[in-house]
Each structure stands twice: as structure tokens, then as C-alpha cells.
Amino acid sequence: MAKVIEIGITKNSKELMQKVNSVEAVAGKGLINDRHFMENNNKKSQITLIEIENINYYNQISLTSIPPISFRRNIITEGIRLNELINKEFLIGEIKVKGHDLCRPCKPLQKSLGQENIIREFLRKGGLRCEILSGGKIYIGDQIKC
């Protein structure tokens, strides 16, 4: 069963992500209190997801223990292959979203984590950028259904 295991938001791109138990998703805008929340938001910037399995694998091969929230994605998932959801609609709890693009890692993330190979290792495993199609709350433990 695919599910949400962690949620993170931050009001500023320079601040650390904050773990929350739930978040309000607004169609076409993003997540309330997140740095990307805005009117007429780009469909690729409204919510980001990443698989815990990819984070765990990286921590294993790099002998690190980087917390999932430090990868700066809004939703940490378990039990689902996000790359397969590009151009597909799916549910996170009761919220309908559409996957649009891979969420590739960037140099600032690599620098903030102090890891030289984040970009290479997460190029096709860094998560998914999605559009929020229907609003409501997302909770830790919510099922993800395709």
C-alpha cells in the first residue's frame, strides 16, 4: 500500500523544511505556508514528492543518515514508483494531483547536504513535480492511489 510517511514545508527557500502532520493543498496554488504557494502557480511547482526507498538506498550506499525532510520535497512517499506517474492523475488521500515532471536535484541541495554525488545519484530518482487539481488536507498516513 502506497502512503504518505512525512510532510514538509517552508516559507522561505533558505530556511530548513519543517515537518508537519498535515498540510492544506489548494488547487492551482500549492500548499499553504510553503515557499511555492502563489496565485496562478506553475503546474510543476505546486507540490513535490520523493520516495523514501530512494533516500534509504542513498543513505545506505553513501554511509550517511540524511533525514528525508532534508531532501526538500513536500511529501515523502512509501510503496510507489513516482517516475511512473508522469502525465497521470492520482490521489494523495482525497486530494487529486497530476504528475508533470521529474524533480531533479540541484547544486544548492547538494551543497546543503554536503554530498558531492547527490545530483548524479538522484538525477532520475529525485522525485516528482505535481499540479494540485483538487484542494483539501493531506495527512501523514494518507494512502496514495493511482
Give 5-46 pLDDT, tens digit per residue: 999 999 988 899 999 999 999 999 999 999 999 999 999 999
How far is Cα 138 from Cα 116, in angstroms, rounded to an integer? 33
Q: What does DSSP say about strands 95-102 and 30-31: parallel, antiparallel, or unpaired? A: unpaired
Place of cell 508533470: 100
For residues 106 and 13, is the Cβ–Cβ distance under 8 A? no
The pLDDT, as a whole number, for residue 112 is 78
pLDDT(80) > 80: yes
Give 91-145 pLDDT, tens digit per residue: 999 999 999 999 987 777 777 777 877 777 787 898 999 999 999 999 999 999 9
